[in-house]
Amino acid sequence: RKEVEQDPGPFNVPEGATVAFNCTYSNSASQSFFWYRQDCRKEPKLLMSVYSSGNEDGRFTAQLNRASQYISLLIRDSKLSDSATYLCVVAAYSGAGSYQLTFGKGTKLSVIP
């Protein structure tokens, strides 16, 4: 089983649509969770951290279910500029400098006019 799994997509949605991405992870000792965004031929950049209570940043909502080892990202009112690949990221820190930062392969989103 892959450490972090995502539906690769692509998701092709019209402007204004709501789209949801899901992610599962295998390491139950993981402590921090993130969504990164990667534009074509660019480096990944942090979109938002994901907290156990769920968190929202404008049109973006992230949720975490530790029991199911499941993370989600919801994008409301999609914009053309949201077109990118969204990477699910899981971190585990076990002391003595050990910090595993593991990326999913990403879900590609295309928002269509």
Partner 1 sequence: DAGVIQSPRHEVTEMGQEVTLRCKPISGHDYLFWYRQTMMRGLELLIYFNNNVPIDDSGMPEDRFSAKMPNASFSTLKIQPSEPRDSAVYFCASRGPWDRGNTEAFFGQGTRLTVV
Contact between 49 and partner 1 (CB under 8 A)?
Answer: yes
Contact 5, 87 (CB under 8 A): no
Determine the distance from the C-alpha atom of residue 56 to the mean position of all C-alpha atoms in its chain, rounded to a whole number: 13
Q: 3-class secondary structure for 25-74?
A: ECCCCCCEEEEEEECCCCCEEEEEEECCCCEEECCEEEEEECCCCEEEEE
Contact between 106 and partner 1 (CB under 8 A)?
Answer: yes
User: Smallest gap, in angstroms, from Cβ of residue 54 to partner 1?
Assistant: 17
Q: Which one of residues 44, 55, 69, 74 is an interface residue with partner 1 (CB under 8 A)?
A: 44
How many residues bind to partner 1 according to rule CB under 8 A?
A: 21
- The smaller minimum CB distance to partner 1, of residues 17 and 91, is found at 91
Query: If we measure between CA atoms, which residue out of 88, 86, 94 comes closest to residue 33?
Result: 88
Site for partner 1 in 85-104 (CB under 8 A): 87, 91, 93, 97-104
- Write out the residues near partner 1 by the rule CB under 8 A: 32, 34, 42-46, 49, 87, 91, 93, 97-106
